[in-house]
């Protein structure tokens, strides 16, 4: 009987049409993930899906994470099997020294097969459940009796603003990473995408990502440059990334960084905003989305590496400043935003203006037809290209 239900579910997932239509790569990936999930459920989950707050890190030491009620995550160490614990210490990102932020909810930690760890949290300081629709992960590399935590990567985004996740159970099986989530009384098994999962197994490199690169400009003359507009695939199918390295002479707002909008406002526009932030506008002629990134993106007179990521499938907008994922810091609860209008084509004008401002020294400017992972963004920055 068990095998019958697995077979029936497989037919439902893979379809039984007499004349199969041509499938997209996204559909085939989704079907493969569904098939893998069925096999895992048939075998049974490797462990009971219960919260985890501690892992062994070698030398007989236990490492525990806990909520603090102050918007931070704390860790403690135990050398006697958890009978006694050290004083709490706030977690920080190893590369920037910034605190890892989380609302007053219990973070979770899981050991990885490669000897590292993954920390699951919400990456915001909201005092409500508004940020429960995105699960973030940070990779931890044990060094002595401590763990060095990486910049966070979004691992799971809900399909509607009303749907919130409790922090999931995380495990590895058949060479892939999985999340077992609960929403109310319902459970779901989710496969972590291959691109998002890379940061769990390896640190950022010094190579330039080329897949999906639509535009790659260097040393744009002051006053800006008008360039032929590359065709961007529908945002809702994949998304996009705008990445640039620039030196801003002042903190003037309203300076266009990229603009291909037409007279009706359709298109994509990025410009400087008050507080040394950036405003992002997407308009497909029917629906639109606007968002302002965290303040303090750059210091006038100093080079800054900026990446603005729009994930059209997950409907998540985020930014990365000089290798630090924006989290709102102490200025606002969120440094990222979810959006739920479907944004289709932002191809409007046949040309685009890049860096139209005499106070902007644009050294590198790129557009990708996909959302880069945080690891790829940091790797691009490290490459110096």
102 φ, ψ (degrees, to nearest 5): -160, 140
Q: What 8-state DSSP symbol labels residue 167? A: P
Residue 278 has pLDDT above 60, yes or no: yes
Residue 9 has pLDDT above 90, yes or no: no
Domain assignments of the chain as residue spans, ordered by start: 2-43, 54-201, 213-383
Instruction: Give the pLDDT score at 340.
Output: 87
- Give the Cα separation of 197 and 375 in Å (integer): 10
Residue 32 has pLDDT above 60, yes or no: no
pLDDT band at 12 (very low <50, low <70, confident <90, very high): very low
> Cβ distance 355 to 362 under 8 Å?
yes
Mean pLDDT in residue range 339-357: 92
CATH class name, domain 54-201: mainly beta
Can you give the C-alpha Rg of the chain in angstroms? Answer: 22
In the block, residue with structure tokens 């997932």: 13
Which residue intervals of the chain are DSSP H helices?
2-14, 25-43, 194-201, 374-383
Share of the chain above pLDDT 70, in %: 86
Instruction: Give the pLDDT score at 308.
Output: 99
343 φ, ψ (degrees, to nearest 5): -100, 120
For 163-177, 237-251, 310-324, 346-360, which range has the lowest pLDDT when averaged over its residues?
163-177
- The DSSP annotation for 235-284 comes to TTTSEEEEEEEEEESS--S--EEEE---TT--EEEEEEETTTEEEEEEE-
Question: Could you give the angle at the alpha carbon of 241 between the alpha carbons of 197 and 261, nearest 5°?
Answer: 155
- Give the Cα separation of 292 and 273 in Å (integer): 7
pLDDT band at 17 (very low <50, low <70, confident <90, very high): very low
Beta pairing partners, 311: 239, 316
Question: Helices 374-383 and 194-201: crossing angle, nearest 10°?
Answer: 60
- Give the Cα separation of 295 and 162 in Å (integer): 28
The dihedral of CA 287, 292, 293, 294: what is its sign?
A: negative
Token output for 382: 């490290």
Question: 139-149 burial string, b = 16+ CB within 10 Å, else e?
Answer: bbebeeebbbb
In the block, residue with structure tokens 């200025």: 331
Exposed / middle / buried, residue 212 (Cβ in 10 Å: 0-12, 13-18, 19+): middle
In the block, residue with structure tokens 């029917």: 286
For 136-150, 164-178, 360-374, which range has the lowest pLDDT when averaged over its residues?
164-178
Which residues touch 283 (CB under 8 Å, ≥6 apart)?
261, 265, 266, 267, 289, 346
Question: Helices 2-14 and 25-43: crossing angle, nearest 10°?
Answer: 170
Instruction: Give the pLDDT score at 160.
Output: 80
- 213-383 in CATH: which number? 2.60.120.200
Residue 16 has pLDDT above 70, yes or no: no
Instruction: Give the pLDDT score at 14.
Output: 35
Which residue intervals of 202-317 are DSSP H helices?
none
Residue 156 has pLDDT above 80, yes or no: yes
Instruction: Give the pLDDT score at 34.
Output: 53
pLDDT band at 131 (very low <50, low <70, confident <90, very high): confident
Same topology between domain 54-201 and domain 213-383: no
In the block, residue with structure tokens 């106070």: 359
pLDDT band at 368 (very low <50, low <70, confident <90, very high): very high
- Give the Cα separation of 255 and 252 in Å (integer): 7
Instruction: Give the pLDDT score at 359.
Output: 86
> Beta 267-273 vs 277-283: how paired, if at all?
antiparallel
């Amino acid at each position: 009987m068990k095998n019958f239900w697995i077979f029936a579910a497989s037919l439902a997932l893979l379809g039984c049409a007499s004349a199969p239509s041509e499938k997209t790569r996204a559909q085939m990936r989704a079907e493969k993930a569904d098939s893998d999930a069925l096999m895992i459920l048939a075998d049974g989950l490797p462990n009971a899906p219960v919260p985890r707050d501690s892992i062994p890190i070698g030398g007989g030491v236990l490492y525990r994470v806990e909520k603090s009620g102050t918007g931070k995550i704390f860790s403690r160490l135990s050398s006697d099997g958890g009978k006694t614990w050290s004083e709490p210490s706030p977690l920080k990102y190893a590369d920037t020294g910034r605190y890892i932020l989380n609302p007053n909810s219990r973070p979770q930690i899981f050991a990885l097969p490669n000897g590292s760890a993954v920390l699951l949290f919400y990456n915001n300081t909201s005092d409500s459940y508004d940020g429960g629709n995105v699960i973030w992960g940070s990779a931890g590399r044990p060094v002595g009796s401590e763990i060095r935590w990486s910049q966070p990567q979004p691992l799971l985004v809900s399909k509607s603003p009303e749907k919130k996740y409790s922090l999931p159970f995380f495990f590895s099986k058949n060479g892939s990473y999985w999340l077992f989530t609960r929403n109310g009384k319902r459970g779901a098994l989710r496969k972590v995408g291959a691109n998002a999962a890379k940061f769990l197994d390896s640190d950022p490199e010094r190579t330039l990502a080329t897949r999906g690169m639509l535009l790659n400009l260097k040393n744009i003359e002051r006053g800006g440059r008008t360039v032929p507009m590359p065709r961007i695939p529908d945002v809702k199918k994949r998304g996009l990334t705008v990445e640039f390295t620039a030196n801003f002479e002042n903190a003037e707002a309203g300076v266009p960084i990229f603009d291909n909008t037409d007279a009706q406002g359709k298109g994509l526009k990025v410009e400087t905003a008050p507080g040394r932030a950036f405003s992002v506008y997407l308009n497909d002629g029917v629906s639109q989305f606007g968002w302002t990134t965290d303040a303090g993106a750059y210091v006038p007179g100093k080079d800054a590496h900026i990446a603005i990521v729009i994930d059209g499938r997950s409907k998540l907008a985020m930014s990365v400043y000089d290798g630090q994922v924006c989290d709102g810091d102490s200025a606002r609860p969120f440094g990222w935003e979810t959006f739920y209008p479907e944004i289709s084509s932002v191809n409007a004008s046949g040309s685009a203006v890049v860096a139209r401002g005499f106070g902007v020294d644009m050294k590198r400017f790129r557009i990708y037809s996909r959302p880069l992972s945080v690891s790829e963004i940091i790797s691009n920055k490290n490459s110096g290209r």
